[in-house]
Amino acid sequence: MPSKPLYKRALLKVSGEALMGNQQYGIDVETVDRIAREIKQATDIGCEICLVIGGGNIFRGLSGAAKGMERASADYMGMLATVMNALAMQNSLERMGVQTRVMSAIPMTTIAEPYIRRRAVRHMEKGRVVIFAAGTGNPFFTTDTAAALRATEMGCDALMKGTQVDGVYSADPHKVKDATRYERLTYMDVLARDLQVMDTSAIALARENNIPIIVFSIHDDGGFVNVLTGNGRCTIIENAAA
């Protein structure tokens, strides 16, 4: 296994759908365990890892709002779904011997620590994996934006976006056979071409704080460690070289 990480501290963003496995809904424990093993491999080579997990496998605020629910209430329900996913991932990681803390932007002290930035940094310095749950704690913001915000607050070297494909394409490669795959892009490329990597506020936040976004497949065994060490197949989004 490669041992020299390019990124010492990184935030991994995965969608809630990534936890479904082949199911139509909910949490597939085997899939959670597989992603947890990827995270353990990263901690084994000395990386400090934090996570943001979406909630779309359980409830998606936007779709709830589209069906007539008040958007704020639907978003809060989506945030609660992310807490369920965070607890599932914590359980899996701790069964593998990885010390893990869940920190929720919505206080629920019975099951998770409240989000306190300095405490989160201290957990990471001690080698614990920190899972940030409940998004930013505010409606109208996605977990993509939460990921960019927490990566900035934690002083992360990179924001790793684990997706269903091995990088950024000009169109969905599952639907468009000749879609172009990009090795490198600037933040402005993503915005100008409307590439749908993350929402615009997340891209803007990463750009302002000069945090590279690394897009890779969460389904490749060993893929997370490979991109952390600069050997994996991915798309790198960063500011244009001076």
Helix axes 117-125, 143-153, angle to 10 degrees: 70
pLDDT classification of 234: cutoffs 50, 70, 90: very high
Is a pLDDT exceeding 70 seen at residue 241? no
∠114-16-71 over CA atoms, to 5°? 75
Q: What is the structure's pLDDT at 3?
A: 62
> How far is Cα 71 from Cα 79, in angstroms, rounded to an integer?
12
* Tokens 């915005």 belong to residue: 191
**Could you tell me what percentage of the chain is helix, strand and coil, using 3-state DSSP and rounding each to the nearest 5?**
40, 20, 45
DSSP 168: E
Q: Are 226 and 38 in contact (CB under 8 A)?
A: no
Is a pLDDT exceeding 60 seen at residue 171? yes
- CA nearest neighbour of 85 among 28, 165, 146: 28
Is a pLDDT exceeding 50 seen at residue 177? yes
- Report which residue type is found at 29: V
- CA nearest neighbour of 170 among 241, 238, 235, 233: 235
Q: Are 166 and 232 in contact (CB under 8 A)?
A: no
Is a pLDDT exceeding 80 seen at residue 2? no
HSE-CB at 50 with a 13 A cutoff on CA atoms is 35
Q: What is the pLDDT of residues 188-215, one digit of tens each?
A: 999 999 998 999 999 999 999 999 999 9
The overall longest dimension of the chain from CA atoms, in Å, is: 51
Residue 101 pairs with which residues in a beta bridge? Answer: 130
* Tokens 């269903």 belong to residue: 164
Is a pLDDT exceeding 70 seen at residue 1? no
Expressed in angstroms, the distance from the first to the final Cα of the chain is 34
> How far is Cα 238 from Cα 241, in angstroms, rounded to an integer?
9
Q: What is the structure's pLDDT at 12?
A: 98
Q: What is the pLDDT of residues 84-141, one digit of tens each?
A: 999 999 999 999 999 999 999 999 999 999 999 999 999 999 999 999 999 999 999 9
Is a pLDDT exceeding 90 seen at residue 79? yes
Is a pLDDT exceeding 60 seen at residue 242? no
CATH architecture of 9-238: 3-Layer(aba) Sandwich (3.40)
- On average, the pLDDT of the chain sits at 95
- CA nearest neighbour of 1 among 221, 233, 218: 221
> How far is Cα 218 from Cα 124, in angstroms, rounded to an integer?
22
HSE-CB at 112 with a 13 A cutoff on CA atoms is 28
- Residues of the chain with pLDDT > 90, as a percent, come to 91
Is a pLDDT exceeding 90 seen at residue 63? no
